[in-house]
Amino acid sequence: MKQKKILMAYFVIGALELLSPLISSSIRYATKPLLMILLGIYVYAYNLKSASRNGLLFTLLFAWLGDVFLLIPGDSALYFQLGLGSFLVMQIAYIRQFVKLGALRWSYFLIPVLIYVIGFLGFLFPNLPAALVPPVVVYALALGSMLYFAFQIPNIKLRCGAFLFVVSDSLLAFGKFYFEYPWNSFAVMSTYILAQLLLIRALCKLHLQR
């Protein structure tokens, strides 16, 4: 029951986040940071071993930091790099979770992942500021690795969550470095909100079964 209430609160806050352009853009300063906090509370609602619980909370901490840094107004490259760095740590933390669950083997799925990562980087490269090329390349490789390792685990929610995360980050990069379309923010945040929820719910259940 407690978990359902947390999920309900997550969906309400997520809906307010998505509707913020129609309501008031200032509410994002409350709704966006609250998302990962609610998922952290959701993790606590599970009777997980301390190592598993702490690993998930560590992951969510850096997801929260990434959300906060990218929320800071202005076009400062520093905040974008800090946000990217926070999400990089989060991706590595997710990969560590997947490896703990047995995702450490060769698969031909690596080939389409590499094709997408290299192709998308090649697409963005002409529009990337020189200072951002190294961190964006490193992050893209980590993101692709996260997707690859997630697909080594036979769990549909986990795989969908990882896939939606790639979609969200790809849309974010497309809007920032190539062309910002009117519904960019909605597309990025809707896929991100669902991706994080699916990943955390799947990982909680998988850790509980161990």
Report pLDDT digits (tens) over 153-210.
999 999 999 999 999 999 999 988 888 778 888 999 999 999 999 999 999 999 988 7
What is the spatial distance between Cα 90 and Cα 39, in angstroms, rounded to a whole number? 14
Q: Band of the pLDDT at 1, cuts 50, 70, 90?
A: low
Q: Phi and psi at residue 105, in whole multiples of 5°?
A: -155, 165
Q: Is 74 a residue whose pLDDT tops 80?
A: no
At which residue do the structure tokens 């090329």 appear?
Answer: 133
What is the spatial distance between Cα 203 and Cα 58, in angstroms, rounded to a whole number? 13
What is the spatial distance between Cα 36 and Cα 109, in angstroms, rounded to a whole number? 30
What is the spatial distance between Cα 147 and Cα 43, in angstroms, rounded to a whole number? 22
Q: Which amino acid is at 101?
A: L
Q: What pLDDT, on a 0 to 100 scale, did the predictor assign at position 15?
A: 96
Q: Which two tokens stand for residue 52?
A: 């598993």
Pick from 118, 106, 33, 30: which is nearest to 68 by CA? Answer: 33
Q: Which two tokens stand for residue 131?
A: 């200072």
Distance of CA 181 to the CA centre of its chain: 21
- Region for 102 from its dihedrals, namely left if φ exceeds 0, alpha if ψ lies in -120 to 50, beta otherwise: left
CA-CA-CA-CA torsion sign (93, 9, 15, 80): negative
Q: Which two tokens stand for residue 81?
A: 């790099």
Torsion of CA 80, 86, 91, 95, to 10 degrees: 160
- Rounded mean pLDDT of the chain? 93
20-24, 116-120, 147-151, 170-174: least confident range? 20-24
Q: Is 76 a residue whose pLDDT tops 80?
A: no
Q: What average pLDDT does the segment 1-22 reach?
A: 92
What is the spatial distance between Cα 1 and Cα 7, in angstroms, rounded to a whole number? 10
User: pTM of this prediction?
Assistant: 0.94
Q: Phi and psi at residue 49, in whole multiples of 5°?
A: -65, 150
Q: What pLDDT, on a 0 to 100 scale, did the predictor assign at position 105?
A: 79
- List, for residues 45-54, the tens digit of each pLDDT value: 888 899 999 9
